Amino acid sequence: MRLKDKVAIITGGSRGIGYAAADKFLKEGAAVIVTASTQGSADRAVTKLKEKYPDAIVDGISPDLASLESVRKAFKEVTGKYGCVDILVNNAGISESTPFMEYTEETYDKVMDLNVKGVFTATRAAAECMVARGEGVILSTSSMVSISGQPSGFAYPASKFAVNGFTISLARELGPKGIRVNAVAPGITETDMMKAVPREVIEPMIERIPLRRLGQPEDIANAFVFLASDEASYITGVILSVDGMARS
């Protein structure tokens, strides 16, 4: 087990990539705390995970990721119960496809509050005990559009460009303190949202991917497990593309 006895918090862990990461982390021996936008969503995810891993430590919380005070309070309760956070996965986020000339300030703020500020608040709260202890791993979900951009919904790629800058800069700052900071940039991934897209729309997407398939949440989760493990002990400041080269 590559993550045995590690304590991990995974934001946006109730579904999709976050849920797949929680599943993989538990399989690898970690204690996992998932966050969700509501406590009900967090509790439902915990129930499902406990059914699969009855002997594992798994819990759920629902802080407001746009509020540092809310996140600090929730994370302090977690560390009080389970000990210092060894691994943080900043996965919570929302996508956007609104044309630029239709963008409102509210739409922009909604994306940035979760995709960028949420990464800051969770990392700031989790890093406190990591810095004090002199070790830890911080991971974030970026996107292939942080490399290639996208033709509409500019705030989403802009937010993921910010995640990349955050990752690389923090890796430099926190490396001397024993903390590794990396990100995973998924491509087109078959989450519940993607499953609702008609096949006639998906097929042309697949044709443009050199590996000729959509990514699965497990593909991204596997990358997170690797980067969280000691196998990646000399890797920091990396934005790892897991996209079948779809970005090209």
The residues assigned a catalytic role are: 156
Give yes or no for a contact between 15 and 48, defined as CB atoms under 8 angstroms apart. no
Q: What is the 3-state secondary structure of the chain?
A: CCCCCCEEEECCCCCHHHHHHHHHHHHCCCEEEEECCCHHHHHHHHHHHHHHCCCCCEEEECCCCCCHHHHHHHHHHHHHHHCCCCEEEECCCCCCCCCHHHCCHHHHHHHHHHHHHHHHHHHHHHHHHHHHHCCEEEEEECCCHHHHCCCCCCHHHHHHHHHHHHHHHHHHHHHHHCEEEEEEEECCECCHHHHCCCHHHHHHHHHCCCCCCCECHHHHHHHHHHHHCHHHCCCCCCEEEECCCCCC
